[in-house]
């Protein structure tokens, strides 16, 4: 799917959903995504220790089955985010971080991860738009909830979108910051009237 949206009224971007199953995720684009991940985390000083390897990309096995959402401007990648679907018992992204929270997750579940925005394009609501778009996709796939790990200001941003905190994990740390695990549930009667940014998607919050 392609969507056009003007961020900050500065330009018009092309937003694409890519995956191996759809046949539109090429090795070249995947490498660009891996390079952007390192660039974004380096710039924000939020780089995983294991991310810095001899290679210039950061990819993992979940990139092969996940859906990737990318934003381009003038054919240059400026943002990327990943969405994975999993059943109970499957290997999860950030497995070590999520292991102790498995019993609290409603299965099948969607997982938000690897959200990155180029340093020059931050502060324009791109990450919130990526979250909204992935929420729609997770609901369409009949997932029972969405799970995400986060740090710093991202924690408050997710809370404002209806995610509730499951707890902190110290398995993965960025600049000595604890990783927060959060979850948002879907109501069986959740309905979406979605026509792009600015439209409110109706979702049910998890009961605490």
Give the per-residue pLDDT at 54: 45
Domain CATH for 145? 3.40.630.30
What is the reported pTM? 0.82
Cα–Cα distance for residue pair 93/148, rounded to 1 Å = 10
The total of structural domains in the chain comes to 1
Per DSSP, the residues of 7-59 read ETTTEEEEEEEEETTTT---HHHHHHHHHHHHHHHHHTT---GGG--SSS---
Residue 60 lies in a domain: yes
| CA gyration radius, the chain | 16
Residue 78 lies in a domain: yes
Residue 111 lies in a domain: yes
Give the per-residue pLDDT at 118: 94
Give the per-residue pLDDT at 13: 64
Host domain of residue 34:
2-185
Residue 51 lies in a domain: yes
71 φ, ψ (degrees, to nearest 5): -120, 130
Residue 207 lies in a domain: no
pLDDT tens-place values along the chain, 208 residues long: 444 444 554 555 667 999 999 999 999 999 999 999 988 887 665 544 444 544 578 899 999 999 999 999 888 899 999 999 999 988 999 888 999 999 999 999 999 999 999 999 998 889 998 999 999 999 999 999 999 999 888 999 999 999 999 999 876 555 557 889 999 998 755 544 433 444 433 444 444 3
Residue 193 lies in a domain: no
Residue 116 lies in a domain: yes
Give the per-residue pLDDT at 145: 97
Residue 206 lies in a domain: no
Nearest to 180 by CA among 188, 169, 164, 190: 169
């Amino acid at each position: 799917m392609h969507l056009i949206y003007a961020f900050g009224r500065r330009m018009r971007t092309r937003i694409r959903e890519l995956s191996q199953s759809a046949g539109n995720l090429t090795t070249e684009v995947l490498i660009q995504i891996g390079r952007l991940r390192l660039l974004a985390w380096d710039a924000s000083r939020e780089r995983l220790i294991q991310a810095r390897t001899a290679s210039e990309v950061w990819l993992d096995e979940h990139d092969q089955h996940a859906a990737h959402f990318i934003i381009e401007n003038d054919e240059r990648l400026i943002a990327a985010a990943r969405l994975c679907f999993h059943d109970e018992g499957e290997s999860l992204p950030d497995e070590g971080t999520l292991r102790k929270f498995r019993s609290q997750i409603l299965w099948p579940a969607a997982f938000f991860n690897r959200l990155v925005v180029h340093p020059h394009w931050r502060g324009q609501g791109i990450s919130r738009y990526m979250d909204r778009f992935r929420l729609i996709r997770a609901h369409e796939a009949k997932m029972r909830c969405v799970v995400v790990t986060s740090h710093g200001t991202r924690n408050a941003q997710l809370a404002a979108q209806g995610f509730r905190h499951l707890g902190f994990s110290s398995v993965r740390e960025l600049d000595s910051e604890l990783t927060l695990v959060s979850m948002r549930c879907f109501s069986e009667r959740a309905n979406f009237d979605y026509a792009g940014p600015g439209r409110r998607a109706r979702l049910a919050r998890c009961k605490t």
